[in-house]
């Protein structure tokens, strides 16, 4: 798989039925190894090992109900009261991060109203903080540590 702009770690990969699988420590199971999943697992490792995000307060593939539609967020970060703080969206390393990606994550946020939106293709990472009082947002220079989230 591709080298990413994220820390290298001991990835657990196996073959099942002729397909490569990668271990997801949050879901505690092996899942199909796609380029997007490769990014997700590296980013999750980065959040836990470098940014001190508690693994128990991260959720992968979280289903949201919006009107009559079900949508799945790649990852949601929660506070200690299980209130969502951040939505993360991952793309394959060959996917350019454009406005459409942010439009997608903003649709997810319509019901959650988190303070942080993060998008990564494993090479480039973008995080913005939303200020609901002024109805504005600002891009951050880096992904905040867990204890910096409000």
- In degrees and rounded to multiples of 5, residue 110 shows phi and psi of -55, -35
Average pLDDT over residues 98-102: 87
Q: Chain-wide mean pLDDT for the chain?
A: 94
* Strand residues in 9-124 grouped as ranges (E): 13-16, 19-24, 29-32, 58-66, 69-78, 84-90, 116-120
Annotation: CATH topology of 13-148: tt1808, chain A (3.90.1570)
**Is the per-residue pLDDT at 121 higher than 90?**
yes
**Is the per-residue pLDDT at 56 higher than 80?**
yes
pTM attached to this predicted model:
0.94
58-83 pLDDT, tens per residue?
999 988 876 777 778 999 999 999 99
Q: How many residues does the chain have?
A: 150
Q: What is the pLDDT of residue 94?
A: 95
Q: State the Cα angle at 45 between 43 and 51, rounded to 5°.
A: 85
Q: What is the pLDDT of residue 110?
A: 85
Q: What is the pLDDT of residue 65?
A: 77
Where do the structural domains in the chain lie, given as residue ranges?
13-148
| CA–CA separation, 138 and 22 (whole Å) | 34
């Amino acid at each position: 798989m591709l080298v990413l702009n994220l820390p290298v770690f001991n990835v657990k990969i196996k073959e099942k039925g002729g397909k490569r699988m990668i271990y997801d420590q949050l879901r505690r199971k092996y899942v199909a190894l796609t380029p997007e999943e490769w990014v997700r697992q590296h980013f999750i490792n980065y959040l836990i090992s470098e940014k001190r995000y508690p693994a128990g307060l991260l959720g992968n593939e979280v289903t949201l109900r919006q009107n009559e539609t079900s949508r799945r967020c790649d990852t949601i970060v929660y506070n200690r009261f299980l209130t969502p703080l951040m939505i993360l969206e991952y793309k394959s390393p060959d996917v350019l991060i454009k406005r459409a990606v942010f439009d997608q994550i903003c649709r997810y946020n319509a019901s959650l109203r988190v303070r942080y939106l993060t998008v990564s293709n494993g090479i480039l990472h973008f995080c913005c903080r939303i200020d609901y009082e002024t109805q504005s947002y600002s891009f951050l220079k880096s992904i905040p540590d867990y204890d910096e989230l409000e």
